[in-house]
Amino acid sequence: MKPSILLYLLFSSLHLSFSVSDPYTAIFSFGDSLADTGNHLVDGPNPILSTTHPPYGMTFFRRPTGRCSDGRLVIDFITEAFGLPLLPPSKAHNTDFHKGANFAITGGTAMSFAYFHKRGLESTVWVNGSLSDQIDWFQDMKPSLCSSAEECKEYFRRCLFVVGEFGGNDYNAFFFAGRGIKEVISNVSVIVGGIVEGVERLINQGAVDLVVPGVFPIGCFPLYLKLYGSKHKEDYGRRSGCLKKFNTLAWYHNEKLRVRLEKLQKNYPSTRIVYADYYAAAIRFNLAPKNFAEAFGLPLLPPSLARGQSFHQGANFAVAGATALDVGFFQQRGLGDSVSTNDSLSVQLRWFEELKPSLCGTTKDCEEYFSKSLFMVGEIGDNDYGLPIFARRSFKEAKSYVPKIIETISMVTGRLIELGAMELVVPGSLPLGCVGWFLTMYMSPNKEDYDPQTGCLNKLNALSRYHNALLRRELEQLQSKYPQTRIIYGDYYGAAMRLMRSPENYGSSSYIINTGNVSLVLVVVPEYRIEL
């Protein structure tokens, strides 16, 4: 599966309403193997675990890091999405934790070891790393993060706390000891109570924004399918193929947790407690796995002007150097000679209109055909800004083009919807201040002209952000106008800046963006609808 799709699903399940104008300066994570970024490795790995050896970590870090994955974890993607460095394990030595720490540990439970010992389950719990233990570790660290009550209040106001997922290992302890489902279900309320008590304890320590995930559909886990496989067809979900009784347990846990968190929110109105529906996000993969494959299984898109081609599985109307605005706009401003192609976005739209009759005949046929199609409108606009910038015009002039460019993108997107488009992705501008040739053209001796974190030019990146802010606002208005469609903003800027800020995470010590001077308009017809 593609990590970006997984991240989108998880974030959409959180329904986050946290303000991007006041970004987080740190993230503190608590949990088990689904979030452990190395604590069990620092602690001295359990000999029965293989996560300290290849192939763990090999597809991203190129070495085992203690993560129970060959790449990154959900918490890594969440951290990167907020522009923060990957969280160090809290047990790491000589580490600065002011930008966050990860207290999660493989095998971590919601309940204490004493809880399992009392029930004769100590042999199936192999780590003293309960939620309560992890909060103790956090309290031990707290004096190094802030000193006075006022300082701590201000610091934690800008922190995000991710508490979980917890509960999975608690239920494992029962099942792996041979206990029955009824006994496990009878303990759900206590386990959920342990999670909520931990959340409340963190609030009393200063946490303001908290995300508390539910458990995954454990009936879909390969280990459970292997250990508890059944000969009876009715024991499995018809569509998912997962074991019903275990998924019912997970659903019951999550419902209990959701209700308890709602009550806790009422008790602490100054906090924001968000339930993260990991169950719903994950079950989608089981219900429609082909929707999340590495690709839609379609052939590469042929150029729309190619002859003798069938375009029923998609077409590419993109042209290198294409602009959002027509050439006449630039001619009026003395930039006509710099335009490398007359094939603007409106021209590409006309090509699509001319192609449409060959794709479907009747109105009903077109509705059915385009309901299974994905339209990508862009990225487009960067070439428009490149013309005045290459001509050494002022940044103020380039910025004055933004409203007209956004208006054009909106007009074309709306027209595509009127022609039948149902699902559209409209990407924003890349960070132009990180583009190699702009860095060369506008090389400056003034340190303040550059972003100290990325080395990119501040003025050009500000232009890109302005474009993207106006585009997002316009797309929101279009979505309201056409509620039957799904219009998705593609955050190319955010994706590129994560790469620029942490190039070592992507296999390099540095990156410079090469736009290739290409803008894209794609039409793809997947067999399945994308679930975004």
Q: Show contacts of 479-488: CB within 8 Å, 24+ apart.
A: 481/414, 482/414, 482/417, 484/422, 485/417, 485/421, 485/422, 485/423, 485/424, 486/422, 486/423, 486/424, 486/532, 487/413, 487/424, 487/426, 488/423, 488/424, 488/425, 488/426, 488/532
Residue 18 has pLDDT above 80, yes or no: no
Q: How far apart are CA 490 and CA 380, in angstroms?
A: 12
Q: How far apart are CA 459 and CA 449, in angstroms?
A: 7
Domain assignment present for residue 499? The answer is yes
Residues 259, 320 within the same domain: no
Residues 272, 200 within the same domain: yes
- CB count within 10 Å of CB 300 equals 8
Three-state secondary structure call for residue 94: coil
Contact at 8 Å (CB) between 241 and 224? no
Tokens 């449409």, residue located: 356
- 426 CB-near residues (< 8 Å, 6+ apart): 376, 377, 378, 409, 413, 471, 475, 487, 488, 489, 490
Domain assignment present for residue 299? The answer is no
- DSSP code per residue over 465-492: HHHHHHHHHHHHHHHHH-TTSEEEEE-H
377: Cα separation from own chain's centroid: 21
Domain assignment present for residue 113? The answer is yes
Domain assignment present for residue 303? The answer is no
**Residue 63 is which amino acid?**
R
Q: How far apart are CA 455 and CA 514, in angstroms?
A: 15
Residues 190, 281 within the same domain: yes
Residue 374 has pLDDT above 60, yes or no: yes
Instruction: Note down the domain range covering 477.
Output: 314-524
Name the more confident of 19 and 229. Answer: 229
pLDDT digits (tens, 9 = 90+) for 70-81: 888 989 988 988
Angle at 307 between CA 303 and CA 313, to 5 degrees: 50
* DSSP code, position 521: E
Is residue 450 exposed (0-12), middle (13-18) or buried (19+ Cβ within 10 Å)?
Answer: middle
Residues 17, 120 within the same domain: yes
Q: What is the mean pLDDT of the chain?
A: 86
Domain assignment present for residue 294? The answer is no
304: Cα separation from own chain's centroid: 32
- CB-side exposure of 211: number of CA atoms within 13 Å? 27
Task: From 399, 430, 448, select the one nearest 497 (Cα to Cα).
Answer: 430
**Residue 101 is which amino acid?**
A
Mean pLDDT confidence for 363-371? 92
pLDDT digits (tens, 9 = 90+) for 385-418: 999 998 889 999 999 999 999 999 999 999 999 9
Among 289, 322, 349, the domain boundary falls at 289
**pLDDT-derived band at 160, boundaries 50, 70, 90:** very high
Q: How far apart are CA 200 and CA 194, in angstroms?
A: 10
Residues 399, 446 within the same domain: yes
Residues 272, 349 within the same domain: no
**Residue 487 is which amino acid?**
I
Residues 482, 357 within the same domain: yes
- DSSP code per residue over 228-242: T--S-GGGB-TTT--
**pLDDT-derived band at 525, boundaries 50, 70, 90:** very low
Name the more confident of 29 and 336. Answer: 29
Residues 319, 366 within the same domain: yes
Domain assignment present for residue 19? The answer is yes
What is the 3-state secondary structure of 330-390? HHCCCCHHHCCCCCCHHHHHHHHHHHHHHHCCCHHHHHHHHCCCEEEECCCCHHHHHHHHH
Residue 150 has pLDDT above 90, yes or no: yes
Residue 20 has pLDDT above 60, yes or no: no
Three-state secondary structure call for residue 153: helix
Contact at 8 Å (CB) between 527 and 297? yes
The tally of domains found in the chain comes to 2
Residues 282, 323 within the same domain: no
Mean pLDDT confidence for 447-458? 92
Residue 44 has pLDDT above 80, yes or no: no
Residues 284, 319 within the same domain: no
Q: Looking at residue 81, which CATH number applies to its domain?
A: 3.40.50
Q: pTM value? A: 0.60
Residues 460, 503 within the same domain: yes
Q: Partners of 426 in the beta sheet?
A: 489
Contact at 8 Å (CB) between 58 and 507? no
- Predicted confidence at residue 436, as pLDDT, reads 79
Residues 242, 336 within the same domain: no
Domain assignment present for residue 166? The answer is yes
Mean pLDDT confidence for 231-243? 91
Q: How far apart are CA 123 and CA 177, in angstroms?
A: 8
Domain assignment present for residue 306? The answer is no
Q: How far apart are CA 10 and CA 277, in angstroms?
A: 8
